[in-house]
């Protein structure tokens, strides 16, 4: 049987969103990764100001312009260039080695960027724990496992502990226009110890808050210290499109963090419990989150103690594309 011939091109704007959304739905029926996205959800992702859609996205079309796969590079610039290659291939075309084309495209783009900037470059991608063909393809291209990421879930109908803050600390909802600079400083100090931390910018801070339909101020919580400094945070999303197509109402806990100097005071547990109560009061049945199993700040134990359990895991693979680009810091 002849191999299918594909044509590759960059993302071309809103006209592609329905095609990608349909592709993700058809992939999800087999992959079970929770990656269904509506065109509106995808628009938020593709309109991210840090994404160069001409250079860092590709769509592969089969004959009659049938979308066979798509990929994008999520690039972060620092002392080295770090990129996450995200891609999906339609089940009908997974025997055509299109994954091979995708990985080669991502690596070539990153090597080009490394040559232009003079910076070392590293690329990574993720595979579901049960997706052996995808794992094989990454290993065949000399990628190595560097992390395991768990998706964890919690039933919000189960009892939730009452938030207990140290004396003088309080919780309030964020006011993005007023709090941006202080929130960004807190975020950067909270995640400076994380293995892949890149400082958050004002542009990135406002992009999700202004464009994501799942964002709401009352779910963007901050712990305030007695001196007025932002000490910890937790923000979560209720995606209206996801809720409308699911059998249960599940929220996403996007991030939780505690600033250096305020750790080991119980702030993370307190704001987590407050978030769980907020989501329950807003009608959610459950909440999910993602955590690296090698997190050095005890995040996994925090979630387990709060009633979260593992639903599945994702394996992170990485490859150094130039000298000086260590797989892990």
Measured CA distances, 287 to 183, 236, 284, 301, 310 (Å): 24, 9, 8, 17, 12
Average the pLDDT over 290-314 and give the result: 90
The pair of three-digit structure tokens given for residue 326, joined into one six-digit string: 């260590």
Mean predicted confidence (pLDDT) in 308-326: 89
Percent above pLDDT 70 for the chain? 96
Tell whether the model's pLDDT for residue 270 goes beyond 70: yes
Sign of CA dihedral 215, 217, 219, 225: positive
pLDDT(188) > 80: yes
- Does this model's pTM top 0.75? My answer is yes
Q: Are 67 and 61 spatial neighbours (Cβ–Cβ below 8 Å)?
A: yes
Query: Mean of the pLDDT values across residues 232-258?
Result: 88
Does residue 297 have a pLDDT over 80? no
236 has pLDDT over 90: yes
Per residue in 77-95, pLDDT tens?
888 899 999 999 999 999 8
Query: Does residue 3 register a pLDDT over 80?
Result: no
The pLDDT tens digits of the residues spanning 86-141 come to: 999 999 999 889 999 999 999 999 999 999 999 999 999 999 999 999 999 999 99
Taking alpha carbons only, the member of 310, 236, 241 closest to residue 277 is: 236
CB-based contact 131:99 (threshold 8 Å)? no
What the block records as the tokens of 303 is 């979630």
Predicted confidence at residue 1, as pLDDT, reads: 42
Strands of the sheet with 57-62, listed across from one edge: 7-9, 57-62, 66-77, 81-89, 121-128, 309-320, 144-155, 286-292, 250-258, 230-237, 220-224, 170-173
| C-alpha closest to that of 299 among 251, 239, 232, 249 | 232
DSSP reduced 3-state for 170: strand
Segment 29-71, tens digit of pLDDT: 887 776 778 888 899 899 998 899 999 999 999 998 899 999 9
Task: Find residue 315's DSSP bridge partners.
Answer: 127, 148
Nearest Cα residue to 320 out of 114, 78, 134 = 114
For the chain, list the domains and their CATH numbers. Answer: 7-149+316-320 (3.40.630.30), 159-306 (3.40.630.30)
- Kindly indicate the confidence band of residue 323, based on its pLDDT and cuts at 50, 70 and 90: confident
Average predicted confidence (pLDDT) for the chain: 91
What is the structure's pLDDT at 294?
Answer: 83
């Amino acid at each position: 049987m002849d191999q299918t011939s594909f044509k590759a091109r960059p993302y071309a704007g809103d006209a592609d969103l329905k095609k990608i959304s349909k592709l993700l739905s058809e992939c999800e029926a087999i992959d079970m990764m929770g990656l269904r996205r509506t065109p509106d959800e995808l628009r938020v992702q593709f309109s991210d100001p840090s994404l160069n859609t001409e250079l860092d996205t590709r769509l592969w079309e089969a004959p009659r312009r049938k979308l066979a796969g798509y990929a994008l590079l999520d690039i972060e610039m620092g002392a080295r260039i770090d990129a996450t290659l995200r891609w999906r291939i339609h089940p009908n075309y997974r025997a055509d080695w299109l994954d091979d084309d995708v990985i080669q495209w991502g690596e070539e783009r990153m090597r080009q960027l490394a040559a232009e900037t003079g910076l070392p470059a590293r690329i990574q991608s993720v595979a579901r724990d049960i997706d052996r063909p995808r794992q094989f393809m990454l290993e065949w291209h000399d990628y190595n496992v560097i992390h395991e990421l768990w998706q964890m879930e919690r039933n919000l109908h189960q009892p939730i502990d009452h938030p207990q803050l140290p004396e003088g600390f309080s919780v309030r909802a964020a006011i993005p226009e007023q709090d941006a600079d202080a929130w960004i400083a807190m975020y950067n100090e909270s995640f400076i110890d994380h293995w892949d931390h890149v400082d958050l910018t004002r542009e990135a801070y406002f992009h999700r808050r202004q464009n994501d339909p799942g964002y709401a101020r009352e779910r963007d919580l901050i712990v305030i210290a007695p001196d007025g400094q932002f000490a910890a945070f937790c923000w979560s999303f209720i995606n209206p499109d996801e809720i409308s197509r699911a059998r249960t109402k599940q929220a996403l806990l996007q991030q939780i963090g505690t600033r250096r100097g305020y750790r080991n005071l119980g702030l993370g547990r307190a704001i987590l419990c407050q978030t769980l109560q907020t989501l329950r009061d807003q009608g959610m049945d459950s909440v999910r989150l993602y955590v690296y199993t090698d997190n050095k700040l005890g995040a996994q134990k925090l979630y387990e103690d709060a009633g979260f359990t593992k639903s599945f895991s994702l394996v992170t693979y990485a490859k150094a594309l130039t000298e000086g680009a260590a797989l892990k810091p």
